[in-house]
Structure 1
């Protein structure tokens, strides 16, 4: 082992200062490259490392271990590094880029670069070419002995092979690819050095002299193997040996060969098969075709020599094809035989060529990886062949098919032609979301066929995505749960209640109520599932829809249904009590649900009928409450109830209210007075009637108060129209004014008799005027006017026909009615009672479609005051009453 101190006798130290850096540099006289190497430590130089033979290089980076560059073959180019101080290369320098400059280090003699010479010191070696990678430095022990190389900078040796090499005592071995003999053409031989650790240089001579590394006798080659050309005509002796990287020497080999171009040169033109078999379907015989470049006689021998018992013999002409056939019957069993064809030329020299033939009766075996199974990731199948018989596998054929087994692959044993299937040459991708059946067969080089290998691969890399289109999120104690859903891909499905996965909880099965809780789902097809109410407990219940793919992986989604058997509670938040309340009072309803699913809706009616739901919570009668709303004036009954999300329905509650002012029902006419009749209101403490001779009555006008109906207005002027309104007083104060009406005091009576004659109902198109076919007729009787003959129109008679809103009263709400003038009908002298007069009118229909009421009114100046007619008659005569239900009905389209 060479230590650093051994070389320090040749150096003295100088300080070199570059700019602001000073470094200690060893000086070896004329070796300026060493100075350049160390200058690189200061980062100021890119001078390449000196690789001249004899240069000492620092392998440890700190001077603790060095080596000397050597030229082992004497060509002036460095080819190794001496680590032991004996002049022998212990590692090999190689030139990887063929520029005649070593740039890498081969530490194990395999001819492949292990480390690379750094062109930019300070580090001599790196793990990558051109100075790339990590620095590689030698690691020594406390005695300076080499331990190995540190390749990752952690201060410990990763590669200890070099240290093992320096302690190796086992000699290498050398072999030659060429045997001694006589050859008709130039030859080559490959010399190979083999060693237990690391082969080193080879050396050979061709002149019978003994090769010598020290004296450099012979040609020196780098390890581990080199080809030598043997091109000399005549007889030569090749002598060679090798050494390993610690200098251990092999024994010397000697090869005597003759190159004589006059020796017949034989060529094996072709061999139909290298293997044969006894199988009837395989290759049972092989034909070797050969030629000789010279004429002569030939013999063919079994074995590796031109001697023994000839299998066949004859004469051969130059460059003539000769065939030699061997079948399996020439073998006693499986095995390999060698044959040598020998030709003797006219000069007595013998040329030869050899070949071998194997009998293989054993069929190959084909296998796959992976084998049959279910796979949830992309899967490729690799097929492989092994041949115990020894001839070697020739090819594999395969067939595949999705959904069912394919036909068997077939190879013709004797020719190797694939008659069914595909030639296998690379891995086969299995189709996703499918079941693929695959079959394989193999052939060896003797034509033997394997048995069929059948495999089935189920591959499905995707799980289903489940989309729920609708589901029952809440259920009561009797209703069942419905789900409408679909899967993105086909697969078997299962509905589960509870649990945390598709393998836990309760798996449902079909029954009297359950439907579509298990089965096979088609892709993107809606499935309607029903789950019986009995599967659910009070509160939240998870429902899991699981769809399996081909390999049993599940796609799933979960929905939660709340079972709630408790009906909600609905109440009136305001107003409180039955009233009376001022106009505009708003009704506010409230719902609470202790069952947990929450209120779904509140419904109500204002017409006295019961609000109702069906079993699905759909409103069958009533209006849905959404927010507080103003109650209309008058007596109103509110019926209300609620339903929760589970379709539990509350009982029906009812509350009556009176809202707004009282309603004037009629006004009695008298001399200088009017009698105001109105509906009294429970809870009202008093009433006040306001009146004025001008329309637009306010609370600043004259008024008369009272505590009951009627209230009489006195001191009025006859034949003057008075406009009248009314309020009530209650706990909240005085109400707003009601609907204004009017009436005229008079000392005249009503017309004796007046009625709506025809028709009792009428249909008109909006904004159109009636014609003769749909005129309205009114008849009246008044003593001493209509019964005087001959009959004729009386100028004192004023008669009008008009319409008003449905259910309105023209006597108390004349402002809501529209009246048209009427004409005397002279044609009615014979249409009925001759004591009556008849008038008619062509009214114009209102612009808004709907249902209206119509009637007539008549007054006779100085004889009778204004009298309203109805269908069954009204007037001063006894037994006559006026009713809004006896008015004509007008339908406007």
Structure 2
């Protein structure tokens, strides 16, 4: 009965429609109170949160709660609801400014919500500090005094159901004293810890020998989950303590006895773990690291009430200030689950000091209870995870993984370290997404390092049916094409398209395959559009009804439908202008015409000038998927191409393609590939342009050559410009010409004609033939050059420029230099009056027969000279011959 009274009072505090009135404040209307409660927190009325202040928890104008100070530090740390001297709800002062600013709902010492006072004196409870975040409201939909939980996001439904577990908790909390007894020469500090499966509450303790009691109150109070008490000065001390949880369950009284004798040894103990386990992956052992402030002998007792009894498990000597260690393992020193207390007794000069510590073996993994359990839900739902541990060490962490649509990766916790290796640590209610199958997995760890197995569940939440929007569809259908429907659903779900019928359970359900696409499957909420394709054979000539049905997670349907008419006669299209291939002058236009004997009429005509067939998609939408729409006579771009045209009628029937190859406008601009210097002349080599019938070289002695400059015309590459002045820079640009006009000019190049002679002698020294793999490297090729006053001089002459090159068979590097590839060579040695150079060739990737030559020039002395196998140059009897070039076979 005591628990129920507390629960009702607690509920009355929490269900205050977002506001708490302080004494002297005028009672506000509900909406005004909410608006004020939403305002940011302030310290302007913080004095109203001092101990002893009364508050109106039920918003009925009558004070029914008192702010309390349980530990006498002048700061309110709870709210008294039942007339006793201990708080029913824990308040925290997180920033130490003497003003409570947070609410601890489950007694773990961590803020769950925040409390602040507005300038109007209204207390606001919010999810963020200083009045920030969302307003917190307790939901009790049926007003039966049993709340469903907290609404923290303003949607009117509970998404934090921890309060339900707190109010229904019937498990008595436990209270531990560490150490439970000790004898020391200095101050002894004892930690009082309250543990509960759901929510620890107030700690009550005495140091005067009296037994603590909540009603009537006897002893000192402290907020959960622990409190430290220190004893100093010689004498004997007794500490008695108990605690209650937030549901009103009260622990048994724990008693600890402590002696301080300034002459006795003082023992300090630090445990690596209070809880251990014999389970794999958990904390297998605990090491007590301890020191004595005096040198002497020691004995460690198990199960003792003093240093004169119990079972000795270790002994020896100890040196003042030097650490000693004592280890207990779950498998070796415990026969099963349970706690063992150990007492370290140190004797020095006839006096004994002691310290106790406790190690608990807990092999049982904790368990997690979800509220609610897995299932189907038609309202917005959140899940609260409650951890319980029957092994006694208590839960330390719950970790979960949540994913919509498919199972997430398992959550994982390292049993020894307690670190989360996968998943999210649970701190508050888990919100589930609507219109989704929410896959939830969770595990928990206790203080002994035991980790529960992964538990999983599927929460299907769907609160509405789909609204189907059909964005485009076919009105008329031809005799061969498919139907394409573009649509969206307001929510995700499974969908099905049907032909005929009046509902989602009548007519013919379509299936994917054999041409049908996206007529069943899963759809995402809100788009992008789903494009469903239905083959022609599913429809009969005449009117047809198509229905789109989307099912939500609880098998309710949303639907929409449309009608189409099937027709099967294709139109005809023709190119009426131009009618010949050309070439035609720039600005020529194309004219197309369409006729339709089927009666529905032409809808669109598409054309292309790239040679690609125009194409339509989308059935009666006649969406042009390839080509451009024809609306009026269109100017044709310059170039050579094929006009192709196709038409689509209102029923989506598509004509055959009409085509015409045409040439419009001048040819494209050519590219000068090489300009070769000669005596009073320059040879211009270029790449030919498709369709060109002649070429014109424009040139002048200043940069910026235009068609107003001098020109030379030719029909093939190269074109030699003669009559030039040696040692004068000339600039050249090239145009291609055919019946459609003259092209734009090429990029400009410049060269200077010269009267330098060719070298007196050069030759391909070796080898006369090569055999090379495709893309491979040839054998070394050697070439020699002689020119008086240059090569007879000993050593390398930097004026000599040498290269070796290859080109296609039956081509000459002098007349077709653009087809040849040259590689620089390296000076080898002087042989007599000749200089020898060498290099290799990287063969082309295409197998075949190629020719190769050496090429030399001497800066300021000799112009470019091509060399063959029997020698060439200006000396008497020498000439370059195509037949004497080296032959390279590429395999």
Same fold, TM-score > 0.5, yes or no: no
- Structure of greater Rg: 1
Comparing both chains, which one has the higher relative contact order based on Cα–Cα distances under 8 Å and sequence gaps of 6 or more?
2
With normalisation by structure 1, the TM-score equals: 0.34
